[in-house]
Amino acid sequence: MEGASCRTEPSPVQLLTGIVNDAKELVRHELALATYDIREDLRKTKRAMPLLGIAIGVAILGGLLLILMLVHLLHVLAEFPCGHAMGSLVVYWPSVEPCCSSSARTPLLASTWCLPKRWKR
- As a whole number, mean pLDDT of residues 13-24 equals 94
Instruction: Please report whether residue 25 resides in a domain.
Output: yes
pLDDT of 76 strictly over 70:
yes
Nearest alpha-carbon partner for 71 in 59, 57, 87, 58:
87
Instruction: Please report whether residue 71 resides in a domain.
Output: yes
Instruction: Please report whether residue 1 resides in a domain.
Output: no
Position 107 confidence tier, pLDDT thresholds 50, 70, 90: very low
Contacts of 92 (CB under 8 A, 6+ apart): 116
Instruction: Please report whether residue 3 resides in a domain.
Output: no
Q: d(Cα 10, Cα 6) in Å, to the nearest integer?
A: 13
Residue of higher predicted confidence among 107 and 71: 71
Q: Computed over its alpha carbons, how large is the radius of gyration of the chain?
A: 38
Position 55 confidence tier, pLDDT thresholds 50, 70, 90: very high
Domains held by the chain: number = 1
CB 90 within 8 A of CB 71: no
Residue range of the domain that includes 107: 10-119
Instruction: Please report whether residue 68 resides in a domain.
Output: yes
CB 88 within 8 A of CB 119: yes
